[in-house]
Structure 1
Amino acid sequence: MEIDYSLYLVTDRRFLGNKTLKKAVEEAILGGVTLVQIREKSASTREFYNVALDVKQVTDHYKIPIIIDDRIDIAQAMNADGVHLGQSDMPISIARKILGKDKIIGISAGNTKEALDAQKGGADYIGIGTLFNTGTKKDIDNPIGIKGLKEIYDSINIPAVAIGGINQNNFRDVLSTGIDGISVVTAILKSSDITASAKALKLK
């Protein structure tokens, strides 16, 4: 599967007000989002599964890959396209055994060693960050910045996306590093016009 990482939406229902996640994701895809990760930090397993399955109707319709954050069991149960794992989640070797060779596995990395380890372990892509201070993760003391991003990205030879505090004011600087894509949450989902905000994060 050829994956377009250019505009990677990570979901967070806290920012949607009365709008359903399914509707928000559709609006984001219409604005140019190329990949969707369902992230549910506080939902029960059943709620996470139901939310993800609901969104999958939209991503399937538009032929956009859907990734599940952390939860390999949910990714398997709903036949998602892959999972995204953090440094404290399931080891990539085990995740690969469970999911098989055809599923996408992304790994978060905050330094060069983590990125190289993920690449060696068989990751399909790396999520590099946290890039800037962000509204979704309040506990970040030292964002890596553009310089750190470039150092990590230049050390690997698999696709990577930058994540953390990326918005319309800084995304061009991020993409100037040559990175394969940007991963955003609030820059799209907090907007009153999700489609327009997604379009504004595209260089073309």
Structure 2
Amino acid sequence: MFNRRLYLVISEESCKGRDLVTVAKAAVKGGVDLIQLREKQLDNPAFLERALRLKEALVASRVPLIINDNLWVAQQCCAAGIHVGNSDIPPLSIRVQWPSCGILGYSIEYEKQIYTAEARASDYLALSPIFATPTKTDTVTEWKLEGISKIRALTDKPLVAIGAIHEGNAADVIKAGADCLAIVSAICGAADPEKAAAAIRLQIEKAL
């Protein structure tokens, strides 16, 4: 069962020169309860090394580590799960190749995708992006609050919202129907990641 509320999507680039593990641990102290490591530019050995280092740092807090779009790394580091999008390995294939996958997330970019076998094979659906963001240059649908509410009425799957979400709009996104907020720059790029995470977590709790 997917019951997470504040989901950090982290990469070395998003941390703006700071140590990725240090930022992640601070964010966890602030209330992050799930972390996805996203490293599109790294080769497998470098990605795995970073994943293992991050996973080890999260042991004490018991915050699960999800790997973005790299099944080999996810399996090798015994991650809690994997997150994929439309151009990545399909969820049904992941279920076959990694039967013990704990959390399988799938990004949807248009409404009809919620009716597909790939969506049904996933543990949660990510709506991406909620608001246009410079970190996503291939946007198909900018969901906005109305889009969250529409998809919420069409599926019982947990919904993760991502894309330009921050302390100022977090409560509105939850009220619109999202179960969990996935954050990149509002935490990774913050001067104080712990404080930033805590502020967003507070808004989530207020909106529930």
Bin of the TM-score, shorter chain as denominator length: over 0.9
1:165 corresponds in structure 2 to 164
Separation of aligned partners in 2, 1:33 and 1:108: 20
Give deviations 1:14-62, integer Å, cap 9, x for gaps.
1323421111100000000010000001111111111111000122221
Count of aligned positions: 203
2:24 corresponds in structure 1 to 25
* Cα displacement (A) at 1:142: 4.7
SS at match of 1:37: strand
Q: Is the 8 A contact 2:108 2:126 kept in 1?
A: yes
2:151 corresponds in structure 1 to 152
Give deviations 1:54-90, integer Å, cap 9, x for gaps.
0001222210111000001110001001000101111
4+ long deviations beyond 4 Å:
none
1:130 corresponds in structure 2 to 129
After superposition, residues 1-204 of structure 1 pair within 5 angstroms as: 2-117=1-116, 121-140=120-139, 142-202=141-201, 203=203, 204=205
Q: Is the 8 A contact 1:84 1:107 kept in 2?
A: yes
The one-letter code matched in structure 2 to 1:167 is H
SS at match of 1:22: helix
* Cα displacement (A) at 1:115: 2.3
* Cα displacement (A) at 1:139: 3.8
* Cα displacement (A) at 1:118: 5.3
SS at match of 1:4: coil
Identity in percent? 31
Q: Is the 8 A contact 2:95 2:101 kept in 1?
A: no
* Cα displacement (A) at 1:149: 1.6
Q: Is the 8 A contact 1:36 1:65 kept in 2?
A: yes
SS at match of 1:47: helix
Q: Is the 8 A contact 1:106 1:127 kept in 2?
A: yes
Change beyond 3 A, Cα 1:68–1:120: closer
Separation of aligned partners in 1, 2:193 and 2:136: 21
Change beyond 3 A, Cα 1:189–1:91: same
Separation of aligned partners in 2, 1:101 and 1:47: 24
Structure 2 spans left out of the alignment, 5+ residues: none
